[in-house]
Structure 1
């Protein structure tokens, strides 16, 4: 499965070049021209490449919001600013900082390092009580019986979204916008219904769930 890069860059020439280089190297790239919608998209990304100079919200502000939204997704900052102060400001929240101009080989190498550091590589299995979840293979196996648990696409996406945001309380609005990709409409019960059916497949006792916890009045959480 291709690694998913959320790329935020407003310069069309640089953006097209980086987009094409990463796609050529096997990444699936979603390119945004500003950071306005980034928080809604980061939950579906394996990593973020973020330019500092953006229209509206600057890259530092966007990056801090993304880290708050999805702390488990690594962020690489791109900038023409080379001063130590600028780098230190970026590295307060970002995982790496690359100055322009740069060679695409260096960018690709740094992305691979971030993916390894965060464990998002082929074959990684995440244990959730009796479950063995493989984000890359997109499989869920009962570790005690060895049988694969078959989930619907939406159920799988919800579970993987929890896995990408471990130990974090997620609201139904966040889950809906990350999984469905549309703005949440007040009163929509799609998330609640899908989580109920998901629990019936993965919990030992769906009436007393221990994998997907309900945080009353706020949302849901999966501990790792």
Structure 2
């Protein structure tokens, strides 16, 4: 069973796609449209029961019917200070962020990319000791937490990537074993249409291979599939 996230969001459209995304990433998502079940005795709802795992993280919208997210979040933290709380809000004012961060462990403003949400959740789970550090072995590489940390198993040294290199490699890992076209990769990472003949992606992959491959001239991690694109083997 995956990590259990209690998610409080009254907007059904947003709640639906967030739950679908997180479920697809292996989380067990307990979605509530208001804070009623959490407001009186939060420690009971967040604890394990028959057929239900204990909560590992609370994902909490600010604007809720009845009790607002700030008040609910404070009650949760008072009852379970060991539990990470991530606030979600369309409010971008610094005053609102500071108010949220008085008790919450992170604050993410809407709209947000689902991959950023997943990354922040993983960081909090790791910080609170709720995410086991299981390494994915790729040749001579040990990859932790979907490329949050990459270690060369031969030397024990950590390999550091730039922002775009990190995003490209993350996308490869999420689609391990699949052949990805240049168009797919570019549009997923840059969030804009791919223009035929653009060499930007190829340049970034060349630099990425220089960091990851034992022999960049004969890559074994990021394979070139001639005439189609690239693949990282499962």
CA distance, structure 2, for counterparts of residue 19 and residue 52 of structure 1:
17
Gaps of 5+ in 1: 125-224
| Secondary structure of 1:6's aligned partner | strand
Gaps of 5+ in 2: 48-53, 135-234
Is the 1:60–1:90 Cα contact (8 Å) retained in structure 2? yes
Deviations 1:125-183 (A, max 9, x none): xxxxxxxxxxxxxxxxxxxxxxxxxxxxxxxxxxxxxxxxxxxxxxxxxxxxxxxxxxx
RMSD over equivalenced CA pairs, Å: 1.3
TM-score, scaled relative to structure 1 = 0.54
Deviations 1:79-133 (A, max 9, x none): 0000000000000000000000000000000000000100112279xxxxxxxxx
- Residue pairs, 1:127-142, within 5 angstroms: none
- Residue pairs, 1:65-214, within 5 angstroms: 65-122=75-132
Is the 1:19–1:29 Cα contact (8 Å) retained in structure 2? yes
Which 4+ runs in 1 deviate beyond 4 A? Answer: none
Q: Which structure is richer in relative contact order (CA contacts within 8 A, separation 6 or more)? A: 1
How far does residue 41 in structure 1 lie from its aligned partner after superposition?
Answer: 1.9
Is the 1:6–1:41 Cα contact (8 Å) retained in structure 2? no
Higher radius of gyration, 1 or 2: 2
Deviations 1:48-69 (A, max 9, x none): 0000000000000000000011
Matched, 1:61 2:71: yes
Matched, 1:7 2:14: no
| Secondary structure of 1:29's aligned partner | strand
Match of 1:28 in 2: 28
Is the 2:87–2:108 Cα contact (8 Å) retained in structure 1? yes
CA distance, structure 2, for counterparts of residue 3 and residue 41 of structure 1:
15
| Secondary structure of 1:7's aligned partner | strand
Is the 1:52–1:78 Cα contact (8 Å) retained in structure 2? yes
| Secondary structure of 2:112's aligned partner | coil
CA distance, structure 1, for counterparts of residue 15 and residue 119 of structure 2:
18
CA distance, structure 2, for counterparts of residue 26 and residue 56 of structure 1:
31
Say which of 54, 57, 75 aligns to 1:47: 57
CA distance, structure 1, for counterparts of residue 125 and residue 72 of structure 2:
21
Is the 1:5–1:45 Cα contact (8 Å) retained in structure 2? yes
TM-score, scaled relative to structure 2 = 0.52
Count matched residues.
124
Match of 1:152 in 2: none
CA distance, structure 2, for counterparts of residue 108 and residue 123 of structure 1:
16
